[in-house]
């Protein structure tokens, strides 16, 4: 059984190779973009919301409530980033129940790309909220001797996200192989339900951890600000 779509080539033209990971990533992005546009294209106060708009609003409010339970600092800004992570991973995993579709979240390159995005977002949010000097100040506290360890700690946070997401996807694939041998007749039904549950949990855990890291960076930048800046 092929665990990752990286090695599957969908299109090849000379030196250009399009693997399944990129192909299915584009499909997920297209579905999210087009779906969002179709749902919100008549977003006016004089137009009653339909079923899809209500469903989308519920999802957004649920994500926002989860972020507020972690931090009240820059909730709306964090929502745009963490909410996008959640929707992309959740949609990728949910679509995996469609025959022939392979979740791009099961690729190490995808999880690495998402990790890099979080790795860049954490300092950007911290600097935007408290300033560059305040954000950098945390790396030399309580002493400049600890600077290398603080830097390693920041990188390890992002790496843990990638390993956790990829490990969850791979464990789901291994369980699928086991169930295929144990329950061949009930396998489609079991795996559809299992895939939906695991896919949502993976998206939730990844986006929540990203939110925690971003909120921590913003809080630390705020705490490191000089006292007169808060007056």
141-185: pLDDT as tens digits: 777 777 788 778 777 776 776 676 666 655 655 555 565 566 555
15 phi and psi angles, rounded to 5 deg: -80, -10
Specify the pTM: 0.78
What is the SS3 assignment for 150? helix
17 phi and psi angles, rounded to 5 deg: -125, 130
Number of domains in the chain: 1
**Alpha-helix runs per DSSP H in 41-146:** 51-70, 75-94, 108-130, 132-137
| pLDDT, tens only, 46-97 | 777 778 888 888 989 999 999 998 888 778 889 999 999 999 988 988 887 7
Give me the domain span that covers residue 12.
Answer: 5-230
Apex 152 CA angle, 168 and 130, nearest 5: 100
In this structure, is the dihedral angle defined by the CA atoms of residues 215, 217, 222 and 224, taken in order, positive or negative? positive
């Amino acid at each position: 059984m092929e665990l990752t779509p990286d090695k599957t080539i969908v299109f090849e033209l000379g030196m250009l190779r399009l693997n399944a990971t990129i192909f299915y990533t584009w499909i997920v992005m297209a579905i999210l973009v087009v779906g969002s546009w179709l749902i919100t294209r008549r977003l006016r106060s004089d137009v009653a919301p339909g079923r899809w708009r209500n469903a989308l609003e519920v999802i957004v409010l649920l994500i926002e409530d989860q972020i507020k339970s972690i931090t009240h600092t820059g909730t709306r800004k964090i929502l745009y980033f963490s909410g996008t992570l959640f929707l992309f991973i959740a949609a990728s995993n949910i679509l995996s129940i469609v025959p022939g579709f392979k979740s791009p979240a099961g690729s190490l390159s995808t999880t690495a790309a998402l990790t890099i995005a979080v790795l860049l977002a954490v300092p950007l949010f911290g600097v935007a909220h408290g300033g560059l000097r305040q954000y950098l100040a945390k790396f030399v506290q309580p002493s400049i001797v600890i600077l290398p360890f603080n830097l390693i700690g920041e990188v390890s946070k992002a790496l843990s996200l990638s390993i956790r997401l990829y490990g969850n996807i791979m464990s789901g694939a291994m369980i699928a192989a086991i169930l295929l041998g144990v329950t061949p007749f009930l396998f489609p039904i079991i795996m559809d339900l299992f895939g939906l549950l695991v896919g949502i949990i993976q998206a939730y855990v990844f986006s929540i951890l990203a939110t925690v890291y971003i909120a921590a960076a913003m809080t630390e930048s705020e705490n490191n600000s000089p006292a007169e800046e808060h007056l």
